[in-house]
Amino acid sequence: MMYVHKKMRALLLLVALLVVVVAEPDKPDSQQCHPDDEAALRAIDSSLGNPYHFASWSSDTPCCDWYDVRCDNDSGRVISLYVFQDANLTGTIPDAIANLTHLRDLTLHHLPQLSGDIPESLAALSELSQLTISWTAVSGPVPSFLGALTALTLLDLSFNALTGTIPASLAEPPYLSGINLSRNRLVGPIPAALFSKLAPQEEVYLWLSHNNLSGSIPAAWAAVNMVHVDLSRNALTGDASMLLGRGKALQYVDLSRNALSFNMSGVEFPEQVSGVDVSHNGIIGSIPAQVTNLTNLQLFNVSYNKMCGAVPTGGNMDRFDAYCFRHNKCLCGAPLAATCRRYTIKT
């Protein structure tokens, strides 16, 4: 599990660094600021109690030069607001953000005293492409109005206190290919139509871990071009083999600590996959011999299942110790201590 946590932290850090690069490019000298946007930013500042975080938001400089703000070089309209890592910033998400009518990227990250619901006023941000509200004390439901943001490509609401179900409306944005709802208190099923509007070649990144989601993984995801999937630490049941398969784009999958049950014997893995964790489920069958040929595989954990048969040997298998295979029904052979005998593998 240490690998999983490091991998997720690295991915989240990469996203944060990429957003920083996008949010703070070189700005042309004396870029003018649209008065409507300046008024909206001042209302945001006031709504949050004029915190020190916005000390640069002064009438002495155009608002396009203010910290956390990025404007379009041609129109001068504010297109990005990125408020990051301030433990002293308190209050709720200001409705005045909706008055930044050309906003494409809204990021409120690592603001532990930011609380309240996600306001419905954000539905007015019709050009919004990336919405990140993460590592805050924001609570309430995942709003269904997010499905009306047709330009949305990335939604990150991770590490909050959100409750309720995942709204079916999240299937509506036709370009939404990155969703992170991990580390909340969400319940209920995964919407069956999620990602159904995407073009077949669109790469999908999904994090739903550390919630209490239930039901099955949508069967239609067999046709979705998943690259990174983390559904760990939920209460999901049924089959998950549709996520795997030779020729798929999948690089990393974590399905650990659910109640999934399917036969692993006939499963084929994508050739480039680097991480597979299906531990702590009810998976039966044997480990496919193909895993020995997966040269990029750095994480492979099938422990705490109901699997049988010999652990494959050769290839890359020396990378994985007994921890990766223990507590199964009758797996045997190195690196396990159990000697292989004649077992009948349940199908």
Q: Write out pLDDT tens, residues 112-143.
A: 999 999 999 999 999 999 999 999 999 999 99
pLDDT at 33: 87
Report residue 31's pLDDT band, with 50, 70 and 90 as the boundaries: low
Helix (H) or strand (E) holding 187: strand 185-188
Of 16-30, 34-48, 84-98, 187-201, least confident by mean pLDDT is 16-30
pLDDT at 16: 46
pLDDT at 22: 43
**Mean pLDDT across the chain, nearest whole number?**
92
| Residue (of 329, 298, 308, 302) closest to 10 by Cα position | 298
| Residue spans of alpha helices (H) in the chain | 2-23, 35-47
Express each pLDDT in 256-265 by its tens digit.
999 999 999 9
Spell out the residues 6+ positions from residue 154 whose beta carbon is closer than 8 angstroms to its own.
129, 130, 131, 132, 176, 177, 178, 179
191-205: b or e for each residue (b if 16 or more CB lie within 10 Å)? beebbeebeeebebb
- Chain centroid to Cα 88, Å, comes to 26
Three-state SS for 81? Answer: strand
Query: Does a cis peptide bond (omega within 30 degrees of 0) precede residue 335?
Result: yes
pLDDT at 27: 44
pTM (two decimals): 0.90
Report residue 32's pLDDT band, with 50, 70 and 90 as the boundaries: confident
| Helix, strand, coil share of the chain (percent; to 5) | 25, 25, 50
277-309: b or e for each residue (b if 16 or more CB lie within 10 Å)? bbbbbebbbbbbeebeebeebebbbbbbbbbbb
* pLDDT of 28 strictly over 50: no
Strands 69-71 and 78-84, by their bridges, are antiparallel
Residues in the chain: 347
Rounded mean pLDDT of 147-162? 98
Both tokens assigned to 116: 């309240």
In degrees, rounded to 5, the angle at the alpha carbon of residue 229 between the alpha carbons of residues 19 and 207 is: 55
* Residues 4, 233: Cα–Cα separation, whole Å: 12
* pLDDT of 222 strictly over 90: yes
Both tokens assigned to 314: 């050769």
Cα distances (angstroms) measured from residue 280 to each of 138, 292, 307? 31, 22, 11
| Residue (of 163, 160, 278, 280) closest to 213 by Cα position | 163
Both tokens assigned to 200: 């077949």
* pLDDT of 276 strictly over 90: yes
